[in-house]
Amino acid sequence: MNAPTASTDASTVSPATLRSWVEQPPAGTGTPMVVDVRSAAEYEAQHIRGSYHVPVRTLAEHTAELARLLDTGSAPVVLVCRSGVRAEQARRHLTGAGLDHAHVLDGGVPAYAEAGGDVVRGRHAWALERQVRLGAGALVLTGLLAGRYLAPAGRLLSGAVGTGLVLSALTDTCTMGAVLARLPFNRAAADPTVAETLAALERRPGTRPS
C-alpha cells in the first residue's frame, strides 16, 4: 500500500493519495473502501463517488459489527467527514474494536474535491460543524448583549457556551451538534437505518462472511 504523502501521521491520508488509490489501486490491495460518517444532509449535498454512508452515531452504537464488515483485509479503509474530526472519532471507535488500519482523510470531502477527486453533488446544505459555529457564536453574542443592556446575569449564557465548548474538546463530543442534527432541516434527508447500512456493506464484493 502506498504511504500517505501529505501527513506524517500514519492514521491520516492526503486527498491526493486517496485519489491515486481510487484511480489506480496499489498492487495487491484493491480499491479503497471510503466510508463517509457525516449526516444524511451533508452526504446528499456532496460525497465521494462510491463511498459508503455510515453516520458516526450508527458506527458508535454498532462498532463491533461494523468493524467486521469494514475489515477489508488488504484494501485501504478511509474514513471521511468535512474536516476530519468526526472521522477521527470513528477511527478511534474502530480501533477499540480491533480494526487498527483505518485512515482519516486529511481535510475531508472538500479537500478531496479541491484535489480533483470525483465527487457527487446534490442539494446544498450547511455542514453540521458550520451550524455549530453559528449557533455557539450567536449564543455567546446574545449573552454578552443581554449582560450589557438587560442584566449582568445574561453573561452567564456566554460562560455556559464557553464551558460547553471546552468540555466538547476534552471529551471529543459535541452536544450542540447532536441537537442540531435532530432539527427538521437537517433531517430532510434521513440517515440510513442500521439494517440498510449493514446490508449495503454486506453487499460489497470481498466482504468477509459472518
Please write the tens of the pLDDT for every residue from 72-90. 777 889 999 988 999 999 9
Question: Looking at domain 12-125+190-202, what is its CATH homologous superfamily?
Answer: Rhodanese-like domain (3.40.250.10)
Distance CA 3, CA 79 (A): 16
Q: Tens of pLDDT along 163-193? A: 888 888 777 677 787 787 777 666 656 678 8
CB 21 within 8 A of CB 3: no
Cα distances from 20 to residues 93, 132, 136, 152, 179, in angstroms, run 27, 33, 38, 57, 37
- For residues 186 and 200, the model is more confident at 200
What is the pLDDT, as a whole number, of residue 207?
Answer: 52
> Is the pLDDT at 114 greater than 90, yes or no?
yes
Reported confidence tier of residue 4, pLDDT bands at 50, 70, 90: very low
Q: What stretches of the chain adopt beta strand conformation (E)?
A: 12-13, 33-36, 46-48, 52-53, 77-80, 102-105, 119-121
> Is the pLDDT at 121 greater than 60, yes or no?
yes
Place of cell 470481498: 206
Average pLDDT over residues 44-66: 93
Count of residues making up the chain: 210
CB 139 within 8 A of CB 118: no
Distance CA 21, CA 66 (A): 22
Reported confidence tier of residue 205, pLDDT bands at 50, 70, 90: low
pTM of the model as a whole: 0.67
